[in-house]
Amino acid sequence: MSHRDIQKHRAGFTMIETVIAFGVLVAAILGPVTLVAFSLAQSRASQNKLIAINLGQEGIELVRAIRDNNVICDTLSSPPPVAWNNNPNGGQGLGRGAANLYTVDANDTVTQTCASASFPTPRPTADANCGTRSLNLNTSNLYAYAAGTPTIFRRCVTICVPSSSAPCNGANDPDVSAASDQMEVISKVFWTDRGLQRSIQFQERLYNWR
């Protein structure tokens, strides 16, 4: 083999080594990058679920606050009596009549006046389309329906009382009796995560504790 042939052989072998080395380097880089991207996606999904859990629980607590304020108001105002399931926003009691779907948030309140006392209480607004309305993130980093930055989260609060229409009766809620001292509260949150529709639901029974 001539000297020139040896040089060609060495040059070709070096090129193959370079390609292999480049492939190994790319694999070494892509592996951690892919892992980091996956971890970030999982972290975002976990964060969204945690926010949804808090928003769902908040829906229950807001209705509980309305119930408690009604009972306190009734204690302070006698007469006239204030029903424990009174809607401070006016109209029939919570879950009564055709209305059982509500939007409610901690930033939207109505002043409840009881004798010489008055205090803010969450404002439940009947809204048949509540599951399609996005919650906004305001400048105080609170979720509300008022002005703010639209988020991926939607919440609908269903209040069921005897004897209201579906989904508040029948097979969906078989243990609500005909008594008037209880109501079922369902707080459901919807959001979209990587193109998939997600939802989480909280449900609790509230009573007239006075």
pLDDT of residue 130: 87
Tell me if 187 sits within 8 A of 66, measured CB to CB.
Answer: no
- With tokens 């005909």, the residue in question is 178
Q: How far apart are the first and last CA of the chain?
A: 105
Which residues are CB-contacts of 168 (< 8 A; sequence separation ≥ 6)?
95, 100, 158, 159, 160, 161, 176, 184
CA distance 89 to 150: 25
What digits encode the pLDDT tens for the residues 159-204?
887 654 555 554 345 555 555 688 889 999 999 988 889 999 999 8
CA distance 176 to 155: 23
pLDDT of residue 39: 56
Cβ atoms within 10 Å, residue 26? 10
Lowest mean pLDDT, pick from 14-23, 68-77, 93-102? 14-23
What digits encode the pLDDT tens for the residues 61-81?
999 999 999 998 888 876 778
* Res 50 pLDDT > 90: yes
CA distance 152 to 126: 22
Lowest mean pLDDT, pick from 54-63, 86-95, 148-157? 86-95
pLDDT of residue 96: 74
What digits encode the pLDDT tens for the residues 144-162?
998 889 999 999 999 887 6
pLDDT of residue 81: 83
Lowest mean pLDDT, pick from 18-22, 125-129, 193-197? 18-22
pLDDT of residue 170: 45
Tell me if 103 sits within 8 A of 130, measured CB to CB.
Answer: yes
pLDDT of residue 115: 79
Q: Which two tokens stand for residue 5?
A: 């042939």
- Mean pLDDT, residues 17-22: 67
pLDDT of residue 44: 82
* Res 101 pLDDT > 60: yes
Q: Which phi and psi angles does 42 have, rounded to 5°?
A: -65, -35
| Amino acid in the structure at residue 155 | R
- Mean pLDDT, residues 77-97: 82
Listed residue (103, 159, 110) closest to 136, CA to CA = 103
